[in-house]
Amino acid sequence: MSETTIVWKKCKKCRKLQHPDHLRCIQCKNTTFDTVKSSGDCKLLTYTILNAPPSEYRDKKSYTIGVVEYSNGLKAIGQIISSENLKIGMKLTSKFQKLTENLDGKEIFGITFKPT
């Protein structure tokens, strides 16, 4: 599984991490940022198993969503490929891939995580 890089912004003034779409810092209103990229493995912070998935996941009885944190503090949410033997704090790798197809047949892509 190839690694996915997630890019966030870090305020140059207060150092708050935030989504790259923000034009100014959500904490101090500064407008200059450093770019921060995820790297390597991440650890599982929390997860939930959805046993009544939306119609787009009609081919699955359930699926798992998790929140992870990379070693540099970046956090991300995404689908976990396997729901077996999950443990908070375990290492995962990330990948951007097809998740499903919407009801019109359009492919939907997103971040997935796989236990290492």
Q: Spell out the domain ranges in the chain.
A: 7-115
Mean pLDDT of the chain: 89
Distance CA(26)–CA(31), nearest Å, equals 10
pLDDT of residue 23: 94
pLDDT of 3:
54
Per-residue pLDDT, 9: 93
C-alpha to C-alpha distances, 92 to 9, 13, 16, 76, 106, nearest whole angstrom: 23, 32, 24, 12, 28
pLDDT higher than threshold 70 for residue 2: no
Q: List, for residues 8-47, the tens digit of each pLDDT value.
A: 999 999 999 888 899 999 999 999 999 998 877 799 999 9
Tens of pLDDT, residue by residue over 48-106, are 999 988 888 778 888 899 999 998 888 899 999 988 899 999 999 988 889 888 888 89
